[in-house]
Amino acid sequence: MKLVTYRLRDDQSDRVGSLLSSLDAVVDLTDHFRDMLELIDAGDPGLAQARQLTEERAGRPIPLTDIGLRSPLMPRQLRDVMAFEQHYQQSIDQIARLRLGPFAGLAPLVRALGIAKIPRVWYEQPIYYKCNRFSVVGTDCDVRWPRGANLLDYECELAAVIGKTGKDIPRERALEHIFGFTIYNDMTARDLQLREMAARLGPAKGKDFDTGNVLGPWLVTRDELDPYALTMISRVNGEERGRGYSRDMHHRWEDIVAHLSQNETLHAGEVIGSGTVGNGCGLEQGRFLAAEDVVELEITGLGCLRNRLIR
């Protein structure tokens, strides 16, 4: 099932709906669920009700052309893991190259980071940070360029939405706690990120800016896809910049959920990013964004997340 949060063109209130299989219209569910979090909290009975309502109301859908999609949900918590080895190693290699040419001024910061290869601990456990959940926006929303940044980048990620609260979740039960998946663009100001992480803490302002976390275009329930069989494509202004595959996750979702829930409750409505897929950001290629660029991230079965950058 594909679920959306949307607004009617003449109304500023968020509504909940389900996307029809034709992908060109939605069925409204707002009279039963005030927002996506309420639907998630309703568990399996709520999802069954949403499916029944979709079938009953399929004859009177609302065309996508009459609505504006929002972020599928406003997360109760937002975390980002770094699960793809190729992205990590290619980023390290490219950061070393930033000492040259127009990025020579970053040389002291690169040296301060002191990373020449992936640390051993990364292979031993999922590594993650907590993001700013209040800066989340959806598809077709303009991303505002943060002041003081010059090297702005996109990051193509798969995001899991927790649907069942739990603590110390065993690996073999971990997937049962995932409600569904969506696309995540973790926008990053690379120069700000490098500067602050030289202090061995962060990221912070390199990623924490309004409109910097983008989710969407819709939320697909776990039963509809295999999270390890997805093609992940990045485009800028229509040009393909990178292609990767979810099968290459070093840390699987089972490991991630089990690790994050150690000694800590994972709550329904939390969102967890996979980290950037290999070839899924400009840093890996030494190519960064410019004002008015349009970034599109497409993942099999999850649609296409599209945003324009403005200064």
pLDDT in tens, 119-178: 999 999 999 999 999 999 999 999 999 999 999 999 999 999 999 999 999 999 999 999
Final residue of a structural domain among 18, 47, 69 = 69
Amino acid at 275: G
Find the CATH number of the domain harbouring 255.
3.90.850.10
- Domain end (from 69, 88, 105): 69
Q: How far apart are CA 241 and CA 237, in angstroms?
A: 10
Contacts of 63 (CB under 8 A, 6+ apart): 24, 25
Residues 185 and 208 in one domain: yes
| Pair 197, 82 in one domain | yes
pLDDT category at 101 given cuts 50, 70, 90 is very low
Phi-psi category of 237—alpha, beta or left, where left has phi over 0 and alpha has psi -120 to 50?
left
**pTM reported for the whole predicted model:** 0.95
Domain count, the chain: 2
C-beta atoms surrounding 20 within 10 Å:
17
- Last residue of a domain, which of 17, 40, 69? 69
Note the Cα 256 to chain centre separation in Å. 15
Residues 131 and 65 in one domain: no
Q: How far apart are CA 142 and CA 216, in angstroms?
A: 14
**DSSP letter (8 states) at residue 12:** -
Instruction: Tell me the average pLDDT across 249-276.
Output: 98
Range of the structural domain that residue 30 is part of: 2-69
In whole angstroms, how far apart are CA 87 and each of 14, 19, 129, 244? 35, 32, 17, 10
Tens of pLDDT along 40-61? 999 999 999 999 999 999 999 9
> Are both 145 and 287 inside the same structural domain?
yes
